[in-house]
């Protein structure tokens, strides 16, 4: 029986939204004294539960605002749930908000070592993998330029190259394959398929249902922060497309 890599149990996440935010410290103090500060509660996630086995490729689908990216951040440990828990058995490489772990004054090469260290890899390991990372990223001589000169696509290509070369046990991807030209997208897709066939567990958010259909064996469908269903890809996509009023291709 396959090992359980991630167990999400009754996860809910609440945000507080100020309905009449003060524009200055003085205004805040005056409103606080008058008890005129109001906030609204917003549940971004509500009672989400599912287990993920080793080698599963989980697609997360839903309309804008459904809570897909928020769920990935909770699983990655970037955000803490208000209630519930996430149990993780393995090292996670989250490709979310790419570039957040980079120093934009440093070169691409320096950021490879910086990002590798953040992910817990030794200098010797990165030395060994450096040429492979550079070749995959297709950055060429730009690897010696500071990241502030990079386009957003170049930054994401570098981040993807680092994350995929180190062969994580759990890879979390948020629309990454939509970045770059068609050739790089196809190369990235093939690389992810290699990781999947090698046992890497993958969480994958995409608005491209055809891409989810090709790459995922299971799907979690979220709607307004609530899980509608989880199950086999074709079954969940068929139900989702019916909900949206889209004719299924299957």
- pTM of the full predicted structure? 0.76
- Residues of the chain with pLDDT below 70 are 17-40, 97-100, 175-180, 247-250
Site of tokens 């990935």:
72
Helix axes 152-165, 123-137, angle to 10 degrees: 130
Q: What is the pLDDT of residue 36?
A: 60
β-pairing verdict for 92-95 and 39-53: unpaired
Q: What is the pLDDT of residue 222?
A: 96
Q: What is the pLDDT of residue 38?
A: 54
Residue 81 token pair: 């749930």
Q: What is the pLDDT of residue 220?
A: 96
Which contacts (CB < 8 Å, 24+ apart) does range 142-147 have? 142/108, 143/107, 143/108, 143/109, 143/112, 144/107, 144/108, 144/109, 145/107, 145/108, 146/104, 146/105, 146/106, 146/107, 147/99, 147/102, 147/103, 147/104, 147/105, 147/106, 147/107, 147/108, 147/111
Per-residue CA distances from 120 to 104, 109, 228 (Å): 20, 17, 36
The length of the chain is 250
Q: What is the pLDDT of residue 22?
A: 53
Q: Are 102 and 156 in contact (CB under 8 A)?
A: no
- From the CB of residue 153, how many other CB atoms can be counted at a distance below 10 Å? 12
């Amino acid at each position: 029986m396959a090992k359980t890599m991630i167990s999400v149990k009754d996860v809910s996440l609440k945000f507080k939204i100020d309905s009449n935010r003060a524009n200055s410290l003085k205004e805040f103090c005056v409103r606080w004294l008058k008890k005129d500060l109001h906030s609204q509660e917003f549940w971004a996630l509500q009672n989400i539960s599912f287990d993920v086995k080793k080698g599963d490729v989980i697609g997360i689908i839903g309309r804008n605002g459904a809570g897909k990216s928020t769920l990935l951040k909770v699983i990655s440990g970037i955000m803490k749930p208000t209630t519930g828990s996430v149990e993780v058995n393995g090292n996670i490489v989250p490709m979310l908000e790419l570039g957040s772990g980079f120093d934009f004054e440093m070169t691409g090469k320096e950021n490879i070592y910086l990002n590798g260290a953040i992910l817990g890899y030794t200098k010797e390991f990165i030395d060994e993998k450096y040429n492979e990372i550079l070749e995959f990223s297709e950055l060429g001589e730009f690897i010696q330029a500071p990241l502030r000169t990079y386009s957003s696509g170049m930054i994401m290509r570098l981040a993807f190259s680092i994350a995929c070369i180190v062969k994580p046990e759990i890879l979390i991807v948020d629309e990454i394959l939509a970045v770059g030209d068609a050739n790089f997208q196809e190369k990235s897709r093939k690389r992810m398929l290699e990781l999947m066939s090698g046992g890497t567990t993958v969480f994958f958010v995409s608005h491209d249902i055809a891409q989810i259909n090709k790459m995922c064996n299971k799907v979690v469908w979220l709607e307004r922060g609530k899980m509608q269903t989880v199950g086999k890809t074709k079954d969940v996509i068929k139900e989702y497309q019916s909900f949206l009023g889209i004719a299924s291709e299957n």
